[in-house]
Amino acid sequence: MTVFKSGFIAISGAPNAGKSTLLNRMIGQKISITSRKPQTTRNRILGVVHGPSSQIVFIDTPGIHNTKSPLNVRMVDVAISAFGDADLILVLVDASRPDPASEELIIRQLGKQNQPVILALNKIDLVKKPVILEIIDKWAGIFLF
């Protein structure tokens, strides 16, 4: 008898961290819009990866950031609510363009969750190696990933 496993992974991060691009790569086709313009993703987008004995449902979320605009507040709420629906949270950080205000908001929200959290550094090809190590040290001191 083969054991089948499935789970939900919420992909979260600041605007333009590369969440939709990651989703598209993980599932092998373009289902999520990608753009240089922030906040292109306005709702949750689900992508499913099927394996021989597993299924992973990725939840692409809008960028989490501080905002006062009613539309953006709603999109941030949608992104944060995905945490509660996920078995695992993947925080994607743009290593080449830190967004301290958004990252602080994300960390505060993660502190309210019980799921495991994975940190993924994106765009490391745009950063010198010593800086990458500093970024890793910084994040390791902020949260238990």
pLDDT above 80: residue 35: no
**In order of start, what are the domains of the chain with their CATH numbers?**
5-142 (3.40.50.300)
pLDDT band for position 132 (cuts 50, 70, 90) = very high
Residue 85 corresponds to which amino acid?
D
107-123 exposure pattern, b = at least 16 Cβ within 10 A, e = fewer: eebbeeeeeebebbbbe
- Arithmetic mean of pLDDT, 70-88: 90
- Nearest alpha-carbon partner for 7 in 144, 80, 122, 115: 115
Residue 116: the pLDDT is 97
Average pLDDT over residues 46-72: 91
